[in-house]
Amino acid sequence: MAWLRVADGAIGGFASGFGGLRLAFSAAVGLTIAVASAPAAMAVDPPPPCTAPTTIAGLDAPLSGLAKALERAKEIRVVALGSSSTEGTGASNKQAAYPARFDREMDLRFPGKDFQVANLGKGGELAEAMLVRLRRDVIPSQPALVLWQTGVNDAIVGVDLVTFRQTLETGLAEMKAAGIEVVLVDPQFYPRSASVARYRDFVTIMHDVAKTHGVPVFRRYAIMEHLISSGQLSVDALFWKDKFHLNDTSYGCLAELMATAVAERLQWRPPAGLVAQSPNASRLRSMFDAESSAF
């Protein structure tokens, strides 16, 4: 089964669900994401319990398009578009990156449904380059949902704030015109972010643009800051060795909180005989051991 075609070199990977799936790429110029049997497993530890107030972790806009897709289809196609923290830099293996973990978390919460999350993370990429990939690879594939993580690299390299805003406005307008649901994922908190000029301005702009377009924002900056300030996790526990990129713990926590936020917005009821499951550390550990594959 293949559903998303991208230009050569434009994709970070594919996050499979519970079926033991992995990437299979064609040798042609247009790559095809396909499903195949997985190689030998690599364990991924479940995240520690992570909590944040609904005012921080909840989504502040409806997901009516995704709700409709959930009602009419068994397979729910999702694209995670972003930079290195979507691609999975700092994770111990591909299945520890947040798109793969979000895939599994959603399958747990929606029994009878099969979430298929394509990881289109590309390290170092700016929002303007992501807009190109949105037009070329994402919009033509018509996913039910796009998780658009951006802003970090734009802030670090000093992209003009007006340009950044216009890029977001354009991307959201084009996805809305195509009938694609979007959740924006704002920049991560990290210890040196305070030293980056206008870093918080990029976070604010994402929220402003999202409000204008009526799309929700997953508040990654506020959530990560809260996990540290509340004493749930230390800086060392939350970040990779460079204290910038995320690690297995932070990817797992964010994926779990994101899945919870999306599920609460959808208010979906499973069919008779099927029960939505809350994550359980021992069950998740056995699933990850059986399914995970290395980078």
| E strand intervals along the chain | 2-7, 13-15, 30-34, 75-82, 114-121, 145-149, 181-185, 217-218
Find out whether 111 and 276 touch, Cβ atoms under 8 Å. Answer: yes
Tokens coding 173? 């307008």
Indicate the class that CATH gives domain 42-291.
Answer: alpha beta
Give the rounded distance of the alpha carbon of 259 from its chain centre: 10
Give me the pLDDT at residue 175, please: 98
Give me the pLDDT at residue 49, please: 74
Q: Which of 37, 81, 113, 56 is nearest to 182 (CA)?
A: 81
User: Phi then psi for 196, rounded to 5 degrees?
Assistant: -90, 120
Token pair 């670090």: residue: 156
For residue 203, CA distances in Å to 17, 92, 194, 230, 252 come to 31, 28, 12, 21, 22
| E strand intervals along 67-213 | 75-82, 114-121, 145-149, 181-185
- pTM beyond 0.85, yes or no: no
Domain residue spans in the chain?
A: 42-291
- Distance in angstroms (rounded) separating the CA atoms of residues 220 and 187: 6
Give me the pLDDT at residue 267, please: 79
Q: Which of 220, 162, 163, 222 is nearest to 186 (CA)?
A: 220
Residues 6+ apart with CB under 8 A from 82: 120, 121, 122, 125, 130, 147, 148, 149, 150, 185
Q: Which of 50, 48, 45 is nearest to 96 (CA)?
A: 45
Q: Which of 249, 267, 253, 243 is nearest to 218 (CA)?
A: 253
Give me the pLDDT at residue 42, please: 52
- Distance in angstroms (rounded) separating the CA atoms of residues 153 and 100: 22
pLDDT in tens, the chain (295 residues): 345 666 644 444 434 332 322 222 222 223 333 332 233 345 556 656 789 999 999 999 999 999 999 999 999 999 999 999 999 999 999 999 999 999 999 999 999 999 999 999 999 999 999 999 999 999 999 999 999 999 999 999 999 999 999 999 999 999 999 999 999 999 999 999 999 999 999 999 999 999 999 999 999 999 999 999 999 999 999 999 999 999 999 999 999 999 999 999 997 655 545 444 555 433 443 343 334 333 3
Amino acid identity of residue 236, one-letter, is: D
Give me the pLDDT at residue 12, please: 41
- Distance in angstroms (rounded) separating the CA atoms of residues 295 and 277: 28
